[in-house]
A and B are shown apart, each in its own frame.
Chain A
Amino acid sequence: MSGKIGITVTVNGKTYEREVEPRLLLVQLIREELNLTGTHIGCDTSYCGACTILMNGEPVKSCTVLAVQADGCELRTVEGLEQNGVLHPLQLAFSEHHGLQCGFCTPGMLMSAVHLLETNPQPSQLEIRKGIQGNLCRCTGYKNIIDAISAAAQKPQAGG
């Protein structure tokens, strides 16, 4: 059982097969093996949520999941939000409401927000705050991010 292990993952609808070292982290698989660098590594200690992706529909910190644990799973990253050149309503709302400054936390923040709106399409302000409790932003003070998610929730397709 030592050595590399064959895994298959589906990321944003596309299937990839790779041979990976058991210690390879999911975020490293995504960034370095699949070249999807939209997912960021922030703290690398399971605090900041910059690396948040959806794994079988649930948000996870991809720095705290082994790539081998994701074998057979369906993953969604920030690259999957835009469809045919059209931004996701959350991406548009972040742009319109200045929900980012440096942008480092944004991919993880967006994926947490996607999960929130998919499970709770009309969240209250408190529910939005709780929805992004696992994502740190060091620029905006969160207000504009909350405004952006709130605005996106007003649009019917945001949960889709």
Chain B
Amino acid sequence: MYPAPFNYHRAHTVKQAIELLLQVGDGARVLAGGQSLLPMLKLRFDEPTDLVDVGRIPGLDGIETGASGVRIGALATHRKIGASALAQAIPIIADCANGIADNQVRSRGTIGGSVASGDPSCDWPVLLHTLDTQIHCQGSDGERTLDINGFVEDLYQTVLQPGELVTSVSFAMPAQGSGGAYCAFKRCAPAFPSVSAGVQLRLGGGEVQSIRIALGSSGRTPIRAHEAEAELNGGAITPERLGRAAEAAVAAASPFDDQRGSAAYKRQLIATLVPRAVAIAVRRANGETVKNSHEYY
């Protein structure tokens, strides 16, 4: 299957990419790894007039850890992130990076593409909600930093302005006593998750000091389950509280029927995956090494 014809431009700098995007206007799309965009173009779900290839812009794929926190360049591939020291240090990153789609997609797909596509099934935005991530963007008016909360406005729609690019994401290094887990359930390796749940929490004296819970493939945007967090915040985690948190997470979601499952099935998955992710996060917060990644059957 061929995509519809388009013009191709290879940008060598972020500035040049922004200029090209603004010059072309509505018909332009950004091409990075192409793992979301190219299947869409081949199925003719989208017929852009021009592609601006940002995939070779130097300096945009770094993974830096410093006193101010962690910064991941937009062009860092899933494979690169999964193999990094960062993934060793923050287990939820490894859960996500090493389980996205399959080996081939992880060679090409980028974290920036996953964030900028606005697809509620993409893995990274869900996980990044649990780390209170900042999205760094560059456009014709210069740089700006946006909160991951509200970055995706609707299905495939972000707050990015025309000509604006995601250049990196950043977040604070989780404090001592933190643990997290990203649990995604999918039909087969290359498929998007039917549902995913990310949990990042911090324990102190056996009590939950802070917690973030986010859901993917559970509505038109990634969803932060605030009510579920409130059920678990403060005090020790009991089976009863975990049950109420799972119910609250289901209530926060608005999944729809699609080829990955019915809405009812997805609600059951949410009710299963949230407690599962909390349990792994708690074990990790307590210093245990737990292997976890996407599950498929």
Partner of B104, one of A68, A69, A134: A134
Which of chain A's residues 6-58 have a Cβ closer than 8 Å to chain B? 21-25, 28, 44-47, 49, 52, 55, 58
Stretch of A59-67, A91-99, A147-155 that contacts chain B:
A59-67
Q: Check B53 against A69 for contact (C-beta < 8 Å).
A: yes
| A66-B38 contact in complex given A22-B7, A23-B6, C-beta closer than 8 Å | yes
Is A112 part of the binding interface, using a Cβ–Cβ cutoff of 8 Å?
A: yes
Question: Is B264 among interface residues, defined by CB-CB distance under 8 A?
Answer: no
CA distance A23 to B51 in the complex (A): 10
Q: Is B157 an interface residue (CB 8 A)?
A: no
- Cross-chain contact B79 with A65 (CB below 8 angstroms): no
A93 CB → nearest B CB, Å: 20
CB under 8 Å from chain A, chain B span 7-37: 7-10, 31, 34-35
A59 and B6 CA atoms in complex are apart in Å by 26
Q: Which residue of B lies closest to A132 (CB)?
A: B103
Q: Answer yes or no: A139 CB below 8 A from chain B CBs.
A: no
Residue of B nearest to A57 (CB): B107
Cβ of B242 < 8 Å from any Cβ of A?
A: no
On whether the beta carbons of A112 and B103 are closer than 8 Å, the reply is yes
Q: Quick check: A64 and B108 within 8 Å, CB to CB?
A: yes
Number of interface residues of A (CB under 8 A): 32
Set of chain A residues within 8 Å of B9, measured between Cβ atoms: 1
Q: Are B8 and A64 in contact (CB under 8 A)?
A: no
Which residues of chain B come closer than 8 Å to A87, judged between CB atoms?
Answer: none
Q: How far is the CA of A25 from the CA of B7 in the complex (A)?
A: 14
Q: Is the CB of B34 within 8 A of A64?
A: yes
Write the nearest CB–CB distance from B8 to chain A, whole angstroms.
Answer: 3
Q: Is there contact, CB below 8 Å, between A68 and B2?
A: no
Interface-centre pick from A1, A5, A131 (highest chain B CB count, 10 A): A1
User: Does B3 make an interface contact (CB < 8 A)?
Assistant: yes
Judge whether B103 and A133 touch: CB under 8 Å.
yes
Specify the chain B residue showing the minimal Cβ separation from A115. Answer: B103
Contact status A58-B34, CB under 8 Å: no
Instruction: Tell me, yes or no, whether B239 is within 8 Å of chain A by CB.
Output: no
B3 touches A23 (CB 8 A): yes
- Tell me if A2 counts as interface (CB < 8 A to partner B): yes
Asked whether A60 lies within 8 Å of B107 as measured between CB atoms, the reply is: yes
Q: Which residues of A are found within 8 Å of B279, using beta-carbon distances? A: none
- Please tell me which one of the listed residues A28, A61, A68, A130 contacts residue B8 in the complex, with CB atoms under 8 A apart: A68
Q: Which of B94-142 contact A (CB under 8 A)?
A: 101-105, 107-108
Residues of B within 8 A of A61 (CB): 104-105
Query: Taking the complex as formed, is B163 at the interface, i.e. its CB lies under 8 A from any CB of chain A?
Result: no
Q: Which residue of B lies closest to A59 (CB)?
A: B104
Measured in the bound complex, the distance between the Cα atoms of B107 and A64 in whole Å is: 12
Asked if A2 and B107 sit within 8 Å, CB to CB, the answer is no
Which A residues lie at the B interface, using CB under 8 A? 1-2, 5, 21-25, 28, 44-47, 49, 52, 55, 58-61, 63-66, 68-69, 112, 115, 130-131, 133-134
Q: 8 smallest A-B Cβ distances: which pairs?
A: A134-B102, A22-B8, A133-B189, A58-B107, A2-B7, A134-B104, A61-B104, A23-B3
